[in-house]
Amino acid sequence: MGRKEAQNAQRMATTGFSSAFLFGILITAVGLLLLEPLSRWLGSTPTILPYTMQYMGAILVGAPFMTASMVLNNQMRFQGNAAKAMYGMMTGAALNVILVPIFTFTLGMGILGTGIATVLAQIVAFFTLLYMSMKDGNISPLSGFKSFKADVVATGSTLSNLYFEIFKGGTPSLTRQALASLSTIALNVVAGYYGDAAIAGMSIVTRVTFVAFAAIIGIGQGFQPLCGFNYGAGLYQRVKDGYFYGIRLSCIILVPICLLSFIFAPEIIDWLRHDPEVVKVGAAALRWQVITLPLAAVITISNMALQTSGKSLSANILAACRNGLCFLPLIILLPLVLGLQGVIICQTVADVMSFVIAVILIRLFFKELDRPQTSV
């Protein structure tokens, strides 16, 4: 869109949407077929396994709607219609908050009801986003199905070029999200050696810190359309200004959250799970993790800047660091040396290492941008 290539943008939107929905169907089929072994691979203990299978079985049914919703949400954001994207996602989130207690407790369906409620909310979010994408001011993926079908029939270079651009721009996100899932599995498996209380404590901390981390994701995703459009238009100083603004804004939001979380860590964990052993593990882990959350802002926004500017190799390297290249070796080695304390401090050490790599890569990128700019 920065280069004013509207037809290619239309083709890209349709290709991405269609492929996401089809891949979601594949995830549903394979996931349900391998439900029990997949639950075990995710780190379920024998006591947790029945609940994992109930919840994940329900969630897998909604996979096509979840994958397509993510694509629609990102497509609208990258067109500068973040408000419409937010309305669509918030509709599903608000409905989820309402439906979960109804299905879980009122209807007595337990964890299965939690999964069903989540899927129903995701389906509503999908159709809301689809409707929003068809309104004025958006490039709707539905309006490009004729050209998408022609591309598929022709099996020519156009479709392969689109997929090349999608994979080039999308692999950093895939790397980041896949390794985040893999790191959670590894964390659950290693924590499982220290009992269910350790798993519960670390899981609670992961959820609590994600609330703060969501602010980083939101700021980074808000920066991406600005970054991509101005990079495509050759307005490199705006890319740099937007990057540093995102870092400052993230730190302004995160520092007070981190201070409060550090001070009231035991109370936060106890509020979510009233168990002395869980509180002991969770409070220590929460304090260690929040001290490096501002560094995670630099890592994440740097990753998004590189990804959106087409620096696929650098973006993939950085995306792999926090939850992969740094975290996975540490979650194996640190517990061998420090026991449970090694599990607790693992993410903090990984964040410090990833921060150093992020600074190096973003400095190299900015040096590349130091060249004459085009006029506005």
The dihedral through the CA atoms of 332, 334, 339, 342 has a sign that is: negative
Residues 201 and 304 in one domain: yes
- Distance (Å, rounded) from C-alpha 62 to C-alpha 73? 16
Residues 131 and 223 in one domain: no
Q: Is 162 a member of any domain?
A: no
Residues 145 and 243 in one domain: no
Comparing C-alpha atoms, which of 143, 134, 308, 296 is closest to residue 236?
A: 308
Q: Is 96 a member of any domain?
A: yes
* Residue 152 scores a pLDDT above 60: no
Cβ–Cβ < 8 Å for 24, 63: yes
Q: Is 161 a member of any domain?
A: no
Residues 26 and 110 in one domain: yes
Residues 108 and 176 in one domain: no
Cβ–Cβ < 8 Å for 330, 189: no
Number of structural domains found in the chain: 2
Query: DSSP letters along 89-102, please?
Result: HHHHHHHHHHHHHI
Comparing C-alpha atoms, which of 349, 343, 348, 352 is closest to residue 187?
A: 343
pLDDT in tens, 84-135: 888 888 899 999 999 999 999 999 999 999 999 999 999 999 999 988 888 7
Residues 183 and 314 in one domain: yes
Cβ–Cβ < 8 Å for 278, 199: no
pLDDT in tens, 35-87: 999 998 877 878 889 999 999 999 999 999 999 999 998 888 878 787 888 88
**pLDDT for res 330:** 96
**pLDDT for res 376:** 43
Residues 268 and 334 in one domain: yes
Residues 142 and 177 in one domain: no
Q: Residue 138 carries which DSSP code?
A: S
- Give the residue numbers spanning the domain of 47: 1-155
Q: Angle between the 196-232 and 340-369 helix axes, to the nearest 10 degrees? A: 0
Q: Is 4 a member of any domain?
A: yes
User: What pLDDT band is residue 262 in, cutting at 50, 70 and 90?
Assistant: very high
Q: Residue 321 carries which DSSP code?
A: I
CA atoms within 13 A on the CB side of 61: 14
Work out the percent of the chain whose per-residue pLDDT is above 90.
58
Q: Is 160 a member of any domain?
A: no
Domain endpoint, select from 108, 127, 155: 155
pLDDT in tens, 228-251: 889 988 899 999 999 999 999 999
Q: Which two tokens stand for residue 141?
A: 């993926």
Measured CA distances, 203 to 10, 43, 64, 335 (Å): 41, 12, 26, 17
- Distance (Å, rounded) from C-alpha 75 to C-alpha 73? 6
Residues 321 and 231 in one domain: yes
Residues 240 and 178 in one domain: yes
Domain endpoint, select from 109, 132, 155: 155
